[in-house]
Structure 1
Amino acid sequence: NDTCISEFLLLGFSEQHKLQPVLFGLFLSMYLITVLGNLLIILATISDSHLHTPMYFFLSNLSFSDICFVSTTVPKMLVNIQTQSKVIPYAGCIIQMHFFLFFVGLENFLLTIMAYDRFVAICQPLHYTVIMNSRLCALLVLASWIISALNALLQSLMVSQLTFCTELEIPHIFCELNQIIRLAYSDTFLNDMVMYLAVMLLGGGCLTGILYSYSKIVSSIRAISSAQGKYKAFSTCASHLSVVSLFYGTCLGVYLSSAATHNSHSSTAASVMYTVVTPMLNPFIYSLRNKDIKKALKRFFEGSNKCSFFKEVP
């Protein structure tokens, strides 16, 4: 490591002091809603035996990933706003970037697995329980964790070999890979190639798999004769499709457009969409239209109230 610096500066959204309390309250609220909402989904899927199915197994993993995903960036940003400091240590920046890449990759794979799960459920319903067995589900999630970890480790090690001697300011709210590479004093050609290759193979490959799955799903839904059957089949995919559109529309846009433009403000806004807004909206999207989640949460809270009552009875 030839770097001669010990820290970076995260410039954030705005340097105006009047906006700092507003930003602090906004992001704190979004963070708490994200953690609470996703935690409720995890508790519902664990506590209710009716939800011990592949779809909800993947959903609980996605909720856990969302909690960790948003926790890699927002807490540090809140601390910086509260302390009026923009400093993040060099080692802390590399670590934040590593876990950010890890959880964004995990999110990417989990959304793809969930699309495959819906594909099997709608296109091959008679073989669903045989294909989506517990062993395959566990292997798919495990493979997602391993590939995401390897990609994050590779990118982090390559960045740690760069030299940073001049510009220390990161025009962002967290240490994002493409923003850090731009600040490097040494040659970044290999880093750029590996970054865009990873985006095309992992992000583009998974997105292609999702689009293929949904093309088959649409064909199967069109073949259903009854309108009620079509609506029921489509409603099982609507929530996931909404999350996929929001996540990939902003995530891929940040990395693929960074080669052509250097508009840091628009890049920061787009990054906030998939790092903060999407994890916050996921619990609402998956629960508001899902009767099983609503019933599980209702049973969970009713059970908690009964336990509290019996504890109070002498």
Structure 2
Amino acid sequence: MANFSDQFLEHVGIATDEFHSPTHFLTSFKLEPVDDAALLEHDGISADMFCSQPDPFDKQTHSSGRFAAPISAAIEKKVQARIPKKTKAATRWGKTVWDCWALSRNSQRTVGDINPQDQCHVVPTSLQTTTAAEMNFWLSRFVFEVRRVDGEPYPASSVYGIICGLIRHFREELGSHDVNFLDKKDIRFAEYRKAMTARMKELKAEGVGFEKRQADPLTMEDEDKLWTSGTISTHTSMGLSHGVFFYNCKVFGLRGMDEHRRLQVEQYKFGSDVSGRYIQYTGRISKNVQGD
């Protein structure tokens, strides 16, 4: 009677006479090379996917319209467009004030005024090749000497604005992104920052530019007068326009002509919750919101 192992082999379809010798047993189970392409095709995958890559310059390969047309030539314009017009104007103003001061100082200096111990002798107007040591030297003098057109000292906020304009000039127009005179960690401009602090204290002591100029806030009585006088009204088109303008400013904080002019209905969402009905406003890029 055959033993259990023989019965099992016969059950699975293997003849027992194939195992008469150990050598025949081993050769019977010899591993054969695997046809990878056949296996891939069996699983529904084309071997060509792994054997070749599409030509990146083949127009037929990229004709699906997935991507936008090349804009290499327009990138610079788009990068410049990210800067608000007023910021660009402030940058030009800061550089113009520097140039006027530099020309005035250079024109007044004579050979007898030159101190051999000075590191620099001529104030630069073209800052492309100006070193950090030169800027540190001249900025320390600039903050004390700069004046308005009428000869009066600039308030501290204006001096600060001029310095920020010069920093933007270095970054945006000269490509020097490592220049920041106001960075306390940058020891290259340490002497300038000491001079700036001293000048700010002088201006404060003299009371220059420290009066606050701001519009008086509207009171509830003022708002009631707008309604009772008909300036704001839901019965006339002009009154309704005034009301929309006023409450956009009051509730949503809109400011400036451009924000009101570019308003779109998609910026408002009407809904309700446990507290009642509400209006949700989504702002766009403006003077105070640059999308950074």
- Normalised TM-score (structure 2): 0.25
Could you say which structure has the higher helix fraction? 1
- Higher RCO (CA-CA < 8 Å; seq separation 6+): 1
